């Protein structure tokens, strides 16, 4: 069993733009415990009041799978652990596990600690031994291990042996600067493992974009303990991404690191951490990104319809994700068939399918983009069905923008629609022409379709496709809408931004009324 040691709440929060309150940290910790990680590093209790509060609250909570770890350093030079404030803070945190780091690299011993090689070995051994005597499970993080090993092999090994003599349960090899290459990790672990004859772990940073692969190499060479963060957050370029590490270890290396059946929660926890930290998810993240199993090319989709293994390395459901078919000018007939089947639309009429495909290619050539506007594709398919009756029919619309003395900007929209044979003519004011059109359309539709009150505009994106054309350029508008249970996206494109917005708005409302 490979141990997963999560340091999202400590090392992860050192990443620029990744900030968590105490309540945020506790919520994420509970999710990590549910996932089944072995250790959750809550913070550095000697560094700030927030981490002190986290440990105070964490010790009152029940943990099913994980042991909570407090993080700190060895005692200061020219002193001992018994009177060191940092060591005292670790003990006061009352966690079952204490993780301390020490110096491996002679450069750090001389230039950062400004002490002797012998004194550095002393404080490593004594700090570990003191915490062990206090009943703690001690993990020793060998900071800058790989750089230190390359600088002075014998001394780097002596620092690990000092921690082992002190009683460390695990010695963790840290690529703190993140620049070690996979073949170096492989060779170094091959050399040290028989000498140490002790359980080792791996802690890598991603400055060379090798954090995950370096972690996997270490596991192949006998490491039993992985340190990293959810989504790879952390200082500079981040840490090893535990999402990828866990999936790769279980699915590619065939080793267990989570309780049985918990792998399918990877998608959930990845997005949960992003949501709590108010970070936009990476759609292209391996395993858990929205695009991780998205298929756009017509040839790929055609093959996928015959065998899902043809263009997917795993079944997305294993990690809680799902396959998606993306519609664009690169689509083939299979893309349209897959989208229609997904929405429960009859695809027996081949001419209809080919007609929609050709229309999409033509519209994309004119500036539309259907990759992120799947609801617009659905409406194109539904409108081609012989028995489809639209919920409303547009007759006219107009907008007026005026500047009135004493009032300022005044925006008004008029909409005339037909619903069940009845013509409705409504007017609304808004803070802009699109907002006014939206309000006027809703006013006309709501008496017949009260569910429209649950449709909320979530996002409105405008993109100028050819800025060299100036004010005559084609404008693309993407609208995201959601109700209580679903979110959908629609698109419009025109030289007139109002018309482009109206196209996307109509698709959005009609999709919500006729599909949901």
Is pLDDT of 332 > 80? no
If one compares 210 and 294, the residue with the highest pLDDT of the two is 210
Q: What pLDDT score was predicted for residue 347?
A: 67
Q: Does domain 393-514 have CATH number 3.30.160.270?
A: yes
Q: Domain 3-276 sits in which CATH superfamily?
A: Aldolase class I (3.20.20.70)
- Which pLDDT score, from 0 to 100, does residue 328 have? 58
How large is the average pLDDT for residues 20-32? Answer: 96
Structure confidence at residue 378 as a pLDDT band (50, 70, 90): confident
Residue of 32 and 108 predicted with greater confidence: 32
Confidence of residue 113 (pLDDT cuts 50, 70, 90): confident
* Mean model confidence pLDDT for the chain: 90
Among 35-39, 318-322, 333-337, name the one with the lowest average pLDDT: 333-337
In eight-state DSSP terms, residue 28 is H
Tell the residue number behind the tokens 């490979």, with chain if given: 2
Share of the chain above pLDDT 90, in %: 70
pTM beyond 0.85, yes or no: no
Pure H helices in 265-412: 266-276, 298-306, 333-342, 350-365, 374-383
* Contact call for residues 5 and 230 (beta carbons, < 8 A): no
CA angle 375/380/386 to nearest 5° reads 130
For the chain, where do the domains classified as CATH 3.20.20.70 start and end? 3-276
Could you report the per-residue pLDDT of 385-437, keeping only the tens digit for each?
888 899 999 999 999 998 877 777 889 999 999 999 999 999 999 888 999 99
3-state SS, one letter per residue, for 100-168 = EEEECCHHHHHHHHCCCHHHHHHHHHHHHHHHHHCCCEEEEEEECHHHHHHHCHHHHHHHHHHHHHHCC
Sign of CA dihedral 54, 59, 63, 65: positive
149-179: pLDDT as tens digits: 999 999 999 999 999 999 999 999 999 999 9
- Mean pLDDT, rounded, for 216-222: 98
For residue 48, the model assigns a pLDDT of: 86
Give the orientation angle of helix 153-166 with respect to helix 182-196, to 10 degrees. Answer: 50
Q: Can you give the pLDDT at residue 403?
A: 83
Give the residue range(s) of CATH 3.30.160.270 domains in the chain: 393-514
- 377 versus 162: the higher-pLDDT residue is 162
The alpha carbon of residue 348 and the mean position of all alpha carbons in its chain are separated, in whole angstroms, by 39
**Which pLDDT belongs to residue 19?**
94
């Amino acid at each position: 069993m490979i141990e997963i040691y999560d340091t999202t709440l400590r090392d992860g929060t050192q990443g620029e733009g990744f900030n968590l309150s105490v309540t945020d940290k506790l919520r994420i910790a509970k999710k990590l415990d549910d996932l089944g990680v072995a250790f959750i590093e809550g913070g550095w209790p000697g560094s700030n009041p927030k981490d002190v509060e986290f440990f105070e609250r964490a010790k009152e909570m029940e943990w099913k799978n994980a042991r909570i770890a407090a993080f700190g350093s060895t005692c200061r030079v020219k002193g001992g652990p018994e009177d060191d404030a940092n060591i005292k803070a670790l003990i006061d945190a009352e966690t079952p596990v204490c993780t301390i780091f020490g110096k491996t690299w002679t450069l750090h011993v001389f230039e950062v600690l400004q002490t002797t090689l012998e004194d550095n070995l002393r404080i490593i051994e004594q700090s570990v031994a003191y915490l062990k005597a206090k009943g703690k499970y001690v993990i020793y993080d060998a900071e800058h291990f790989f750089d230190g090993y390359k600088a002075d092999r014998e001394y780097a090994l002596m620092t690990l042996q000092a921690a082992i003599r002190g009683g460390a349960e695990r010695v963790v090899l840290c690529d703190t600067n993140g620049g070690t290459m996979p073949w170096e990790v492989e060779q170094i672990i091959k050399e040290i493992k028989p000498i140490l004859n002790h359980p080792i772990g791996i802690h890598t940073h991603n400055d060379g974009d090798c954090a995950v692969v370096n972690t996997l190499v270490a596991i192949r060479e006998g490491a039993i303990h992985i340190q990293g963060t959810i989504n790879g957050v952390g200082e500079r370029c981040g840490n090893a991404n535990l999402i990828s590490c866990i999936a790769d270890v279980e699915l590619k290396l065939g080793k267990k690191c989570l309780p049985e059946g918990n792998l399918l929660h990877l998608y959930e926890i990845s997005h949960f951490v992003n949501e709590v930290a108010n970070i936009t998810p990476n759609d292209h993240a391996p395993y858990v990104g929205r695009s991780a199993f998205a298929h756009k090319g017509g040839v790929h989709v055609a093959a996928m319809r015959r065998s899902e293994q043809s263009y997917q390395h795993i079944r997305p459901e294993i990690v809680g994700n799902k396959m998606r078919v993306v519609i664009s000018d690169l689509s083939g007939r299979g893309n349209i068939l897959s989208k229609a089947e997904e929405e429960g639309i009859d695809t027996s009429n081949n001419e209809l399918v080919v007609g929609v495909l050709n229309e999409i290619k033509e519209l994309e050539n004119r500036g539309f983009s259907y990759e992120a506007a799947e609801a617009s594709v659905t409406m194109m398919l539904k409108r081609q069905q012989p028995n489809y009756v639209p919920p409303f029919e547009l007759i006219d619309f107009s907008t007026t923008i005026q500047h009135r003395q004493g009032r300022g900007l005044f925006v008004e929209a008029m909409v005339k629609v037909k619903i069940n044979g009845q013509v409705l003519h409504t007017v609304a004011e808004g803070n802009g022409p699109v907002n006014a059109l939206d309000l006027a359309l809703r006013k006309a539709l709501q008496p017949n379709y009260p569910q429209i009150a649950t449709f909320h505009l979530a996002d409105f994106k405008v993109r100028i496709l050819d800025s060299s054309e100036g004010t005559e350029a084609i404008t693309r508008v993407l609208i995201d809408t959601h109700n209580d249970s679903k979110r959908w996206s629609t698109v419009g494109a025109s030289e007139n931004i109002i018309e482009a917005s109206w196209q996307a708005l109509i698709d959005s409302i009609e999709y919500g009324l006729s599909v949901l």
